[in-house]
Amino acid sequence: MGAGSYSFLVGPLIALVAIGALMLVSRWMTGQRGSLIERPARPGSAEEYGLMIPVASPGTVAAADQVRARLREAGVSSRTVDTTEGLRIMVWAEDVGTARSVLDTPSR
C-alpha cells in the first residue's frame, strides 16, 4: 500500500479542518467581550478630562452656552461637560490664560 491509497481521506480531512477553523473563529467572534452597544456616558470629576482644564462653572446649560459663545468670539475652543461637581466649561491647556482673561472681563 502506497501513499496514494489513502488519497480518498484527504478531501474529507481538509473539510473537517476547515469546519473546525470556522468554528474556532465564530466562537472567538461571539466570545465574552461584552455588548457592542455603547453604554451611556458616566460623569467624572473635572480632573478626569485629560488635557482639558475647567475655566468656568455655569449653573445651567443656557449659562454654559453664553460662556461658550464669549469664548468662541475670542477664538478659544471650549466644551461643556457634565462632571460629578456639575457643569464645567473646559478648554485646552494652552488656551487657559486667554479663556480666563476673556471671562474675567465684564460682558457687554
All domains in the chain, ordered by first residue: 46-104 (3.30.2130.10)
Mean pLDDT of 1-16: 79
Mean pLDDT of 91-101: 92
Which is it for the CA torsion 58, 59, 60, 63, positive or negative?
Answer: negative
Name beta bridge partners: 88.
81
As a whole number of angstroms, the distance between CA 97 and CA 80 comes to 18
pTM over 0.75: no
The tens digit of pLDDT for each residue in 22-42 reads: 999 888 887 766 666 777 878
The reported pLDDT for the residue numbered 91 is 94
The reported pLDDT for the residue numbered 46 is 81
**Are 64 and 87 in contact, with CB atoms under 8 Å apart?**
yes
Residue with cell 455655569: 58
**Are 46 and 55 in contact, with CB atoms under 8 Å apart?**
no
Tell me how long the chain is: 108
The reported pLDDT for the residue numbered 108 is 62
